[in-house]
Amino acid sequence: MKFSHEFIQSLQKEQYPQLWVESALSYRKLKKCIKKVKLELEGYGLGTDVLNASWQLPNRGSSTSPWQYAFNNDAPGFQPKLTIALDPASGSPVDARLSKETCLFLERWARGERKLSVEGNDSVITPDETSQSRRSSVYENAIEVPLTTDGDFFQILQRELLNLERLGDSEKQNLGDEIVELGSELENMMLSSRSKAETRAWREIFRLYVDFEIFFSSREQDAGARDSQSVSLRLQDFSNTVNDLGHLSKLRAHGGSAFRHFVSINATILSLMKFQDLNNLATSKILKKFDKRTALQARTALPPDLFHGRKATQALAKAACFQVSQQLLDIFPQLSDYSCPICCDITWKPIRLRCDHVFCIRCLVVMQREKQNHCPLCRQECVLDATSDDIDLKLMEFLKAKFPNEVKVKQRENQRAAGIDQYGEDFNKKCMVM
């Protein structure tokens, strides 16, 4: 099956919004442009066999190569240029593989003659200011082949890629607005809810979301952005796991609606990634076809930052994940974000050292008892200077409000540890009445 047909089928199969479909790369239109470029080159005696042989000459692509195909980024639009070096003595092209008719044509074009003929194909070209500027070249003693259709191809391609980029920016903004709206919905829901079970369920849902690393991996073996296929599988696994663990059953009606909205946002991000990947593939395919049909080898001459589809897809996922983290995950903070780096338990009665690192009061007491003055994280000498005045009261109130159960458990553990310090190990034994 031809890719153009597969491309259209994929756009229809995924049921993308109509605006997206209308913004997709015009693959068939670009294919027609390639045919025009091929015919124009053949009209000048520059068929694929001639050009393919010419590119194999020594120093291909260097300043001393007889043939050059480059893009003039300073010109209006996106203007490619095909040039061939001329013999400074005779004024003839230095590539011996060219036919006599093509060499004669290029010589006459260099002289600006009005009536040109190549291999029986008569055409009238007026060397006006535009053609005179096209004959000028960055290469000394060189003539630019007067192509026009290749410029049309790349200008269409560039225009459509810019439209895709604008669509991505617009959809990214829409996603950002949706994420902010969902964040406000969750905050209002939590303020009005007295259900601790629902709060814990949401915290577990977002913990699972972070652990699944749906869009990005932090593991060494596959670190970085995931492809759309991996994202799709992980998003489905995340939804199934949340349901299997019974977290959805603990959400009230508004909570269930908010969760579906959250999954829908992630599904939209995934759809946009798939759409961008599909257009990236179409761009790669059409450039490959351009080089195959015309033998101009444009891909080697393209600026490396011009067609950055894969980077755009990664940037989209990264921006969306950042907004999810900022707007949603902070509503239900994770215990791991507030754990003491020594005991890995909740940092109850948090002591903030002079170096700004925070430890639970129990671990700090142990360090001071053992005369450890260096901060375990930065090695600054400040542990022995800490007192009860260094308790972060604001953070302590936050922990008490967000993690009440964990705080109660830690309080009991601290009391038991303090009792053992004062009365010895017997304090931990149960009191028995005979």
- pLDDT tens figures, 379-400: 999 999 999 899 999 999 999 8
- Angle ∠(237,242,245) on CA atoms, nearest 5: 115
Label residues 223-250 b or e (16+ Cβ within 10 Å = b).
eebbebeebbebbeebbeebeeeebbeb
Rounded Cα–Cα distance for residues 41 and 102 (Å): 11
Instruction: Report which of residues 145 and 60 the model is more confident about.
Output: 145
Decide if 227 contacts 360 (C-beta within 8 A): no
Q: What is the pLDDT of residues 55-96, one digit of tens each?
A: 765 544 444 457 788 887 665 566 788 887 766 666 556 555
Provide the pLDDT for residue 63.
Answer: 47
- Burial (CB count <10 Å: 0-12, 13-18, 19+), residue 305: exposed
**Residues near 266 by beta carbon (within 8 Å), at least 6 away in sequence:** 214, 235
What does each C-alpha distance from 159 to 153, 197, 393 come to in angstroms?
10, 53, 57
Check residue 45 and give left, alpha or beta (phi > 0: left; psi -120 to 50: alpha). left
Which strand (E) or helix (H) includes residue 68? Answer: strand 67-72
User: Does 137 score more than 50 pLDDT?
Assistant: no
Decide if 94 contacts 87 (C-beta within 8 A): yes
User: Does 221 score more than 50 pLDDT?
Assistant: yes
Rounded Cα–Cα distance for residues 251 and 243 (Å): 11
Average pLDDT of the chain?
81
User: Does 230 score more than 80 pLDDT?
Assistant: yes
User: Does 354 score more than 50 pLDDT?
Assistant: yes
pLDDT average, residue stretch 208-236:
88
Structure tokens at 219: 């593991």
352 half-sphere exposure, CB direction, 13 A CA radius: 10
Among 198, 233, 191, 39, CA closest to 119: 39
pLDDT average, residue stretch 158-178:
90
Structure tokens at 232: 């799709």
Between 225-229, 264-268, 423-427, 428-432, the lowest mean confidence (pLDDT) is in 428-432
The residues pairing with 67 across neighbouring beta strands, listed in sequence order, are: 84
User: Does 434 score more than 60 pLDDT?
Assistant: no
The residues pairing with 260 across neighbouring beta strands, listed in sequence order, are: none
